[in-house]
Every structure is written in structure tokens, then in C-alpha cells.
């Protein structure tokens, strides 16, 4: 049985069409093109007296970008330095950090881990007024 030359190309063209329509992986599979980071990268809060550290009435807003979403957020002092929420699902979204209980921390760290297990940190310092003046 003889086939015309145009029929011989049909299986090859079909395979090529399947490969082209497949697309490929997303950024999470290929690795993110942008470096993971937060803005700000550090935050320092001075207490109102030499003996005490301040409690934030207003939380610090932190924007996370780069890397691959979703982002998990961890605190080195989870009862005193509290990130909310602890998961950010999209790039360029924010979470807040609240300082509670008047605890002095110098430094505390907020660690952000993306879907590819890449990490970045935000350093939080909450020091008494005397310590902040001495450091200047």
C-alpha cells in the first residue's frame, strides 16, 4: 500500500501541534525571575522611656514582592512580634507587623519564605529611648 507524501507528514504535524499547545511551566516551576524581598527591609522603633519599649498602636505595613507566591511569614518572637496574615497569596501584597507586650527586641526577624523555599528577612528593632540615643 502506497501513501502520498502529504499523508506521511500528518503524524509529524500532529505531534508538533501537541508539543506546541502544551505550553510550559509557570514561574513557580521555572524559578522566579525577580529576587524575593520586602519593603521595608528593616524597621526600628524607639521606646517612650529609658526603661520601656514601645507597643505599636499602628502596625508596620510590609510589602512582599519577587519570588513565587504564596509567601509564608514567620516571626522570631511570635508572641511579641506578630505578622498578620501569616500567608500572602499574591506578589506585591502587604502584611502587617505588630509589636505587642512592650517587649524589647533588638533585633527580631520576620522571615518570608516563598513557594520555591527562597527566603528573605525583615529586621525589627524595638529599643528603649536610652539605647536608641546611645546608638546614635
Contacts of 35 (CB under 8 A, 6+ apart): 66, 67
How many structural domains comprise the chain? 1
**Quick check: is 52 in a domain?**
yes
Report the pLDDT value the prediction gives residue 29, as an integer from 0 to 100. 47
**Quick check: is 28 in a domain?**
no
Q: Determine the Cα–Cα distance for residues 86 and 73; give it in Å rounded to an integer.
A: 5
- The CATH number of residue 59's host domain is 2.60.40.3450
Confidence category of residue 136, pLDDT binned at 50, 70, 90: low
Find the domain containing 97 and state its range.
Answer: 35-135
**Quick check: is 22 in a domain?**
no
**Quick check: is 16 in a domain?**
no
**Quick check: is 86 in a domain?**
yes
Total-model pTM: 0.68
**Quick check: is 117 in a domain?**
yes
Confidence category of residue 109, pLDDT binned at 50, 70, 90: very high
Amino acid at each position: 500500500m502506497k501513501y502520498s507524501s502529504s499523508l506521511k507528514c500528518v503524524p509529524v504535524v500532529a505531534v508538533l501541534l501537541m508539543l506546541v499547545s502544551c505550553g510550559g511551566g509557570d514561574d513557580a516551576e521555572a524559578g522566579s525571575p525577580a529576587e524575593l524581598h520586602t519593603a521595608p527591609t528593616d524597621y526600628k522603633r524607639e521606646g517612650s522611656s529609658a526603661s520601656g519599649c514601645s507597643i505599636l498602636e499602628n502596625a508596620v505595613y510590609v510589602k512582599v514582592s519577587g519570588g513565587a507566591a504564596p509567601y509564608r511569614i514567620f516571626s522570631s518572637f511570635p508572641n511579641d512580634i506578630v505578622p498578620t496574615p501569616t500567608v500572602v497569596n499574591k506578589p506585591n501584597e502587604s502584611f502587617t507587623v505588630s509589636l505587642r507586650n512592650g517587649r524589647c527586641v533588638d533585633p527580631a526577624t520576620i522571615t518570608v519564605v516563598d513557594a520555591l523555599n527562597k527566603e528573605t528577612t525583615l529586621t525589627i528593632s524595638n529599643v528603649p529611648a536610652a539605647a536608641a540615643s546611645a546608638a546614635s
